[in-house]
Amino acid sequence: MARFTFRAATTADLGTIADNLVAGFMTYRSWADVRWKPPDRLEMLTGLVQRFPRDGSWAVIAFEGREPVGHAAARPEHPGDVRPLGGLARLAHLFVREPYWGSGVAHELHAHIVDGMAQRGFEGARLWTPAGQARARAFYARRGWRPTGASDPSNELGVELLEYELEPLSLTPPTPPERRSLPARRGSAPA
According to CATH, the topology of domain 5-125 is: Aminopeptidase (3.40.630)
Q: What is the pTM of this model?
A: 0.84
Strand ranges (E), the chain: 5-8, 58-64, 67-76, 88-96, 124-130, 146-152, 161-166
Angle 181-183-188 from CA coordinates, rounded to 5°? 120
Tell me the domain boundaries of the chain: 5-125
pLDDT tens track of the chain, all 191 residues?
468 999 999 999 999 999 999 999 999 999 999 999 999 999 999 999 988 878 889 999 999 999 999 999 999 986 654 445 568 999 999 999 999 999 999 999 999 999 999 999 899 999 999 999 999 999 999 999 999 999 999 898 999 999 999 988 765 544 444 433 333 333 333 33
* Cβ neighbours for 187, distance < 8 A, ≥ 6 positions apart: none
